[in-house]
């Protein structure tokens, strides 16, 4: 460090980060629910999460001066989350709190066998566990997601490093780590909304990082865990089919998926939950909102006038289009057998995360969570990909705001028809189109590189 600012930057960032963590403690001690002991527990938990973030960076080989600099974004991330903990949205009031109460009144883990909630059993294990604790359930539900926010940031670090090949402690992976912790939709999803998309999102990111590092069995196991938490993991799951057809993943390694999934449901089976209830949970979810083509998601169905009824073929067209996209990428994987590199694999992952939920019917605004974090990593690995990340995040964030405010951000009237999310949809479509163009360029550059050999 020859420049003076490089000498003083680490202690300066550490000092500001320390002040932000002090603010985090203050925010926790000022929470509305629970008593002083609960507030101290939450403050200690967020400080532990900050320490976990530093330990994970240390595990990746970051030096002390780097850790001191990273204390600034980590402190800011914890403060933002602490300030969000008191918010109780409609999903908590209408669903999550009721599930928690049911577990509390029906024997905790014994209630796993009952028909409660519409999440798969790993999340029900968590609900059963916290039903024995005295800390207000709103905070515990959010804290579970916050743990995975840190794990998600770590996964982004790993994924960007695997894409760039940078040495330990270099800038791009560190930027990805900090940006993932501070990404607005990540903060809002868990800390404010109390949703759990960060859980399966973190597992998917780590799965992608692992497969690009050649740890195939680990990556398949992580994808199975992601799928066991949320069905939406299937948006990026076809990537492993592409990698298998390309010869980067062996078929025998794919058997780790059903084995891991089976392990996740064994406790529920032992507690008496019928297998048909476990297996059927995702089928029930798919039919739960079939009366509406789209639920506040910036998808292709927002191009239809508001209130358009599904005549029966709109939804089928969307499913067929999403299937065609997946089949096209699978075919591309087969054509690139033995020649599919990490850059191409990541471009395909981004197209899947953007394209599949954009084309499918019955999507919620949160279903672009994978698109938000995968495009973020893509941009951190190569700044030329930044438009995809900006457009996807802007679209997702506007959709979150729409839901949280229960009011459309901007509407358009044309020809007597009413369109409720034109800007959000245009931004997400722009992100998808840009990513598709970048994938084509990656293919062209890849072919030129092979021709030059």
User: What's the pLDDT tens digit per position in 45-54?
Assistant: 999 999 999 9
Contact 220, 256 (CB under 8 A): yes
Residue 296: phi, psi to the nearest 5? 65, 20
What share of the chain in percent tops pLDDT 90? 88
Number of Cβ within a 10 Å radius of residue 59: 9
**By C-alpha distance, which of 188, 183, 160 is closest to 173?**
160
**Amino acid 4: pLDDT:** 67
How sure is the predictor about 361, in pLDDT bands with cuts at 50, 70 and 90?
Answer: very high
How sure is the predictor about 288, in pLDDT bands with cuts at 50, 70 and 90?
Answer: low
**Amino acid 146: pLDDT:** 98
Q: How many CA atoms lie within 13 A of 150 on its CB side?
A: 24
Written as one string, the DSSP assignment of 236-271 is TTHHHHHHHHTTSS-HHHHTHHHHHHHHHHHHHHHT
Residue 281 exposed, middle or buried by CB count within 10 Å (0-12, 13-18, 19+): middle
Q: Report the distance separating Cα 226 and Cα 209, nearest Å.
A: 14
Between the alpha carbon of residue 362 and those of residues 91, 197, 356, the distances in Å are: 17, 17, 12
**By C-alpha distance, which of 200, 147, 152, 207 is closest to 176?**
152
**Amino acid 3: pLDDT:** 67
pLDDT greater than 70 at residue 287: no
**Structure tokens given for 44:** 């200690």
DSSP state of 120: -
Strongest mean pLDDT among 87-91, 302-306, 390-394: 390-394
pLDDT greater than 60 at residue 168: no
pLDDT greater than 60 at residue 452: no
Q: Report the distance separating Cα 26 and Cα 443, nearest Å.
A: 52
pLDDT greater than 80 at residue 73: yes
Q: Mean per-residue pLDDT for 163-171?
A: 72
**Amino acid 400: pLDDT:** 97
Query: Lowest mean pLDDT: which of 281-285, 355-359, 413-417?
Result: 281-285
Residue 294: phi, psi to the nearest 5? -150, 145
| Tens digit of each residue's pLDDT (9 = 90 or more) over 399-450 | 999 999 989 999 999 888 999 999 999 999 999 999 999 999 999 987 776 5
Q: Report the distance separating Cα 97 and Cα 137, nearest Å.
A: 7
How sure is the predictor about 451, in pLDDT bands with cuts at 50, 70 and 90?
Answer: low
**Apex 211 CA angle, 62 and 385, nearest 5:** 70
Q: Mean per-residue pLDDT for 69-90?
A: 97
Radius of gyration of the chain measured on its C-alpha atoms: 22
168 versus 102: the higher-pLDDT residue is: 102
Contact 175, 71 (CB under 8 A): no
**By C-alpha distance, which of 165, 166, 232 is closest to 373?**
232
| Tens digit of each residue's pLDDT (9 = 90 or more) over 87-121 | 999 999 999 999 999 999 999 999 999 999 889 99
Rounded to the nearest integer, the mean pLDDT of the chain is 94
Query: Lowest mean pLDDT: which of 121-125, 336-340, 395-399?
Result: 336-340
**Amino acid 283: pLDDT:** 82
Q: Mean per-residue pLDDT for 372-401?
A: 97
How sure is the predictor about 307, in pLDDT bands with cuts at 50, 70 and 90?
Answer: confident
How sure is the predictor about 453, in pLDDT bands with cuts at 50, 70 and 90?
Answer: very low
Residue 292 zone, left/alpha/beta (φ > 0; ψ -120 to 50; rest): beta
The SS3 call for residue 295 is: strand
pLDDT greater than 60 at residue 66: yes
CA terminus-to-terminus distance, the chain:
40
412: Cβ contacts below 8 Å, ≥ 6 apart: 418, 419, 422
What share of the chain in percent tops pLDDT 70? 95
**pTM, entire model:** 0.96
Query: Lowest mean pLDDT: which of 331-340, 373-382, 440-449?
Result: 440-449
């Amino acid at each position: 460090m020859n420049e003076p600012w490089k000498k003083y930057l680490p202690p300066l960032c550490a000092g500001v980060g320390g002040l932000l963590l002090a603010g985090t403690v203050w925010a926790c001690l000022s929470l509305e629910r629970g008593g002083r002991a609960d507030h101290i527990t939450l403050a200690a938990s967020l400080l532990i999460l900050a320490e976990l973030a530093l330990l994970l960076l240390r595990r990746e080989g970051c030096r002390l001066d780097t850790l001191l600099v990273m204390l600034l974004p980590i402190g800011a991330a914890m403060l933002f989350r602490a300030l969000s903990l008191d918010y109780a949205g409609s999903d908590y009031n209408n669903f999550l709190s009721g599930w928690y109460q049911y577990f509390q009144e029906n024997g905790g883990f014994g209630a796993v066998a009952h028909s409660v909630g519409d999440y798969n059993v790993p999340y029900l294990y968590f609900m059963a566990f916290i039903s024995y604790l005295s800390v207000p359930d709103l905070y515990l539900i959010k804290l579970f997601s916050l743990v995975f926010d840190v794990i998600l940031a770590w996964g982004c670090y790993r994924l960007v490093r695997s894409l760039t090949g940078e040495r330990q402690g270099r800038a791009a992976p560190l930027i990805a780590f900090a940006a993932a912790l501070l990404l607005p939709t990540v903060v809002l999803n868990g800390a404010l909304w109390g949703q759990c998309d960060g859980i399966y999102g973190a597992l998917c990111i780590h799965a992608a990082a692992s497969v690009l590092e050649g740890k195939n069995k680990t990556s398949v196991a992580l994808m199975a865990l992601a799928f066991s938490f949320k069905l939406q993991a299937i948006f990026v799951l076809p990537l492993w089919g592409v990698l298998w057809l390309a010869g980067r993943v062996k078929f025998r390694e794919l058997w780790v998926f059903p084995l891991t999934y089976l392990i996740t449901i064994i406790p529920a089976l032992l507690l008496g939950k019928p297998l048909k209830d476990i297996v059927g949970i995702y089928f029930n979810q798919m039919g739960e909102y079939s009366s509406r083509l789209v639920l506040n998601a910036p998808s292709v169905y927002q191009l239809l006038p508001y209130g358009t009824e599904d005549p029966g073929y709109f939804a089928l067209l969307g499913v067929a289009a999403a299937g065609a996209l997946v089949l096209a990428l699978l075919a591309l994987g087969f054509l690139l057998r033995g020649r599919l590199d990490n850059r191409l694999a990541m471009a395909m992952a981004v197209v899947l995360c953007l394209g599949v939920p954009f084309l499918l019917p019955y999507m919620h605004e949160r279903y672009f969570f994978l698109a938000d974090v995968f495009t973020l990593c893509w941009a951190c690995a190569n700044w030329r990909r930044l438009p995809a990340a900006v457009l996807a995040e802007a679209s997702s964030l506007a959709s979150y705001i729409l839901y949280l405010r229960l009011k459309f951000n901007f509407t358009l009237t044309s020809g007597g028809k009413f369109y409720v999310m034109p800007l959000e949809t245009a931004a997400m479509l722009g992100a998808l189109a840009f990513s598709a163009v970048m994938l084509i360029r990656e293919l062209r550059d890849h072919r030129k590189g092979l021709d030059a050999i």
